[in-house]
Chains A and B, each alone.
Chain A
Amino acid sequence: MKMYLPPPGERNSRRGFLKKGLLGGVVLALGGGGWLLSRPSATTPVPDGVKVLNEREFAVMHALVQRFVPAHATFPTPDLLNTTLACDAILAMTEEVTQTEVKQLLMLFENALPNFLFGRRTKPFTQLDVDEQDRVLEEWRDSTLTLRRTGYVALRGTVMAAYYGNKDTWSAVGYPGPPAGIHDPNAPVWKGGDAPRPPGNGTYIEPEATP
């Protein structure tokens, strides 16, 4: 895996959405380095259609999904909704630098060595039991290291978007779905020029010219 080390003094790239703070770029690179992965991850079957995550990254994302999505009696399970696959689909929509950062972040969660240095843990995340995983997540959520806090928010946000974005969760939360009457898949696409402006769904009045 390619290591990404920001040049000295480089501000956070506008395109990378992880806020790395002072050390974060280096820490992230440590996590992504394959040569530090000392123990194997627990695996999970990777479904067809995965675009961004490799098998190991998918396993870590899957473990995060299980912890982030609350288990409620009336809510569909994330396994039923293929939430981990949906997370991958969300990542596929992002720019390459974001995809790389998230992949590195997932490996940072998983990797034993940097987490030993920063968190006194020696087992990969996917091999911890659920209580230990929850503790790791709290550690990241409340960390003094900006990268960990941003990483936590980013991953949790992705998982929640993937889960609640699925309409099969809507009835469980009491959401009746989007209001009708706005979306029109056949709406004209007007790009101006000599083409006449199509009628809108309201009243349009040409504004007066500047005096």
Chain B
Amino acid sequence: MTGRIFTAEDLTSDVSIECDVCVIGSGSGGAWTALELVNQGKRVVMLEEGGFHTRREFDMTEARAFPNLYQELGNRTTDDLSITMLQGRSVGGGTTVNWCSSFRTPQRIVDRWKDQHGVDTVTTEALTPHWDYIEKRLRIAE
């Protein structure tokens, strides 16, 4: 695999890239999508709005983490402002700021996709073999 990360300072002039697929977001969803497409021989470009951060910047202080690693500077909340929603914003997305958590989509959410958004092809039954595959690859399956 010869993928390379380009950050803003690497792009000193306009760049034109031809590819088969552009994946928007480098979090857990985007990363898996891109990986599988590359493994099937596609040329893939991933776009990420967040920054590329490494252990150089992980000084474990909120002052640095919240503005740099989280959506809305760590201020994202539910509509009624009562619950903070910490969602990652970086290369790696939520996977950069979370660990030890990997959930299968709860049934009530799958039901909501169907009842409220008319999505009836993405069922628990359809998703299960993909979860099995990913959990095995991530070494989190029993």
| Dominant SS among interface residues on chain B | loop
With A and B bound together, what is the CA distance between A173 and B54 in angstroms? 29
- Residues of chain A within 8 A of B63, CB atoms compared: 161, 165
Distance from A178 Cβ to chain B, minimum over Cβ atoms (Å)? 3
Distance from B61 Cβ to chain A, minimum over Cβ atoms (Å)? 6
- Residues of chain A within 8 A of B55, CB atoms compared: 182-184, 187
Question: In this assembly, does B103 line the interface, its C-beta being within 8 Å of a C-beta of chain A?
Answer: no
Distance from A115 Cβ to chain B, minimum over Cβ atoms (Å)? 21
Q: Give the nearest-CB partner of A158 in chain B.
A: B75
With A and B bound together, what is the CA distance between A210 and B75 in angstroms? 39
Interface residue stretch chosen among A31-39, A52-60, A125-133, A148-156: A148-156
Q: How large is the interface on B (under 10, 10 to 19, 20 to 34, 35 or more residues)?
A: 20 to 34
Q: Give the nearest-CB partner of B39 in chain A.
A: A210
**Residue count of chain A within 8 Å CB distance of chain B:** 32
Question: In this assembly, does B60 line the interface, its C-beta being within 8 Å of a C-beta of chain A?
Answer: yes
User: What are the interface flags for B43-79 relative to A under an 8 Å C-beta threshold, 1 for contact and 0 otherwise?
Assistant: 0000000001011101111110011000011010101
Distance from B30 Cβ to chain A, minimum over Cβ atoms (Å)? 16
A185 pairs with B81, CB closer than 8 A: no
Interface residues of B in 88-131 (CB under 8 A from A): none
A178 pairs with B59, CB closer than 8 A: yes
Distance from B128 Cβ to chain A, minimum over Cβ atoms (Å)? 18
Which of A19, A93, A183, A189 is in CB contact (< 8 Å) with B59? Answer: A183
With A and B bound together, what is the CA distance between A165 and B60 in angstroms? 11
The 3 residue pairs across chains A and B that have the minimum distance between CB atoms: A178-B60, A193-B4, A187-B55
Tell me the B residues contacting A by CB distance below 8 Å. 2-7, 10, 36, 39-40, 52, 54-56, 58-63, 66-67, 72-73, 75, 77, 79, 81, 137
